[in-house]
Amino acid sequence: MKQTENKIKNAFTAITPDILETVVSDSVSGKGTAMLVKQKRRLPIAIVAAAAAFVMLFGVFAGVLAYMGNNAVASVVSIDVNPSIEIKLNRKDVVVDIKALNEDGQKIIGNMDLTGTKIEVALNALIGSMITGGYIDELANSVLVSVDNGNADKNAALREKLNAIISGLITTENAEGAVIALQIDKNDTDSAYLADKLGISLGKAQLILSLCANNAKYDPESLAKLGINELSLLLQEIGAELKGEFVGSASDKAYIGVEKSKAAALEYAKVTEDMVYGSIKVEFEHDDGMMIYEVEFVVEGVRYEIEVNAVNGNIISCEKKNRDVLIGGAVGEYVSAKEVEDIISAYCPERQEWNGLNISSNTMTACSYAKPRFLIRVSNTNSRLTQRRAKFSPWNRTDIIIMKIIQAVIPKKTDLLQKNKHLKRCSTVRDLRKMIFPV
């Protein structure tokens, strides 16, 4: 206990300022100073003057050194929400310079003078101002912070520090908020070019390029129009790799959500969910400056690809693809050749060309339904009894027509065939036809 007490005593002694001079001069209004002066041994005036001059010179020198040290930029941090702000820090993380990178950034900084403050204080003021200005709220609560410091360790440490400060500032009772902390890569000339061309921060350019690398549909220019919250949501959706960290979760409260988008799409297609074959696929995407849900499902052999506006649920586009034929509900041990023919004639657009196809039930079988690999033996009608074998993978979109036919004609309970090494891949109807009718 004594040791702690001593520490406290020493610490408080050390922080007590020395104001005796003021106290004395104020208490006697000049008179008392003379009394004190009498007790002091006077030094020759020349020495005093020399000492004073030396102290002043040293002071100026030290001051200049300190000024240079304090104003040397050690790290450049940029903050993006939609307002973009660049902050230059010295090695003690004190703000040396601050500037807005866009108009919103200018509004945020206003006439605040944050130079000379610690980064914590500056961030507090800036993020606070963004919250007050409505740039950060429960609908959009993501912040991108990018750090440019050549030293990887210091960069990581600063990112961690900034991440923690910003997360603390934007987290509310109801929403966590998301912070993306990026390490600026000076050698990344693509990002630099993009940032320069589109007038965005280097960090945002780097983030956009990471997203584009993961989704060929995206183009950097349209992504640049999005705010950080949207970019964070896309990042969450596709999980692109980053040079940095992504913590928290971006708010999707501004959007209608997966369930509502499904409902809107089904309503537009005038179908119900129980009519859908298989499952409904929903992807949160960006298209032409707009956030959308792309809803995909198949009903009665028709594949729907419907784009739903993620904000208001309006239908943006609907594509129907009739060629994706579906034949559901095959039952029985084997279906007859007649049934297969009927199915093919009914669902294949090129059915005219299939005339003469003869499929006999005993030539059809499957090797495994569970691991969807099918073997089909067919023979054509010109009685040469040519037999061909074909193997299909149902998971390949391009063979969907063929697969669905086969799913229909081959029941689940079939004998397993031994693996056949002569199986040949056949992925389209055209391939299948070639198999069946070799020229």
List interacting residues with other proteins (CB under 8 A).
1, 4-24, 26-28, 31-33, 35-37, 39-40, 52, 92, 118, 120-121
Q: How far is the CB of 131 from other proteins (least distance, A)?
A: 18
The b-or-e profile of 339-348 (16+ CB within 10 A means b, else e) is bbbebbeebb
Nearer to other proteins, 31 or 421 (CB): 31
Q: How far is the CB of 56 from other proteins (least distance, A)?
A: 12
Q: How far is the CB of 23 from other proteins (least distance, A)?
A: 4
Say if CB 342 and CB 378 are below 8 A apart.
Answer: no
Say if CB 122 and CB 108 are below 8 A apart.
Answer: no
Nearer to other proteins, 5 or 241 (CB): 5
Q: How far is the CB of 39 from other proteins (least distance, A)?
A: 6
| Burial (0-12, 13-18, 19+ Cβ within 10 Å), 424 | exposed
Q: How far is the CB of 95 from other proteins (least distance, A)?
A: 13
Q: Please name which of 281, 346, 329, 331 lies closest in space to residue 307, comparing C-alpha atoms.
A: 281
Q: How far is the CB of 93 from other proteins (least distance, A)?
A: 10
Nearer to other proteins, 39 or 352 (CB): 39
Nearer to other proteins, 34 or 216 (CB): 34
Say if CB 389 and CB 375 are below 8 A apart.
Answer: yes
Half-sphere exposure of 285 (CA within 13 A, CB side): 20
CB-CB neighbours of 7 under 10 Å: 10
Q: How far is the CB of 204 from other proteins (least distance, A)?
A: 31
In angstroms, the Cα distances linking 219 to 42, 73, 99, 111, 292 are 80, 34, 28, 36, 15
What is the residue whose two structure tokens read 């129009």?
225
Q: Please name which of 331, 308, 330, 333 lies closest in space to residue 319, comparing C-alpha atoms.
A: 308
Q: CA-to-CA distance for 154 and 77, rounded, in angstroms?
A: 13
Q: CA-to-CA distance for 222 and 205, rounded, in angstroms?
A: 12
Nearer to other proteins, 17 or 278 (CB): 17
Q: Which tokens go with 152?
A: 């990887």
Detail the DSSP E strand segments found in 139-233: 142-148, 177-183
Q: How far is the CB of 52 from other proteins (least distance, A)?
A: 8
Nearer to other proteins, 10 or 314 (CB): 10
Q: How far is the CB of 47 from other proteins (least distance, A)?
A: 12
Say if CB 379 and CB 360 are below 8 A apart.
Answer: yes
Nearer to other proteins, 67 or 193 (CB): 67
Q: CA-to-CA distance for 320 and 304, rounded, in angstroms?
A: 5
Nearer to other proteins, 18 or 241 (CB): 18
In angstroms, the Cα distances linking 110 to 34, 79, 85 are 52, 16, 12
Nearer to other proteins, 44 or 438 (CB): 44
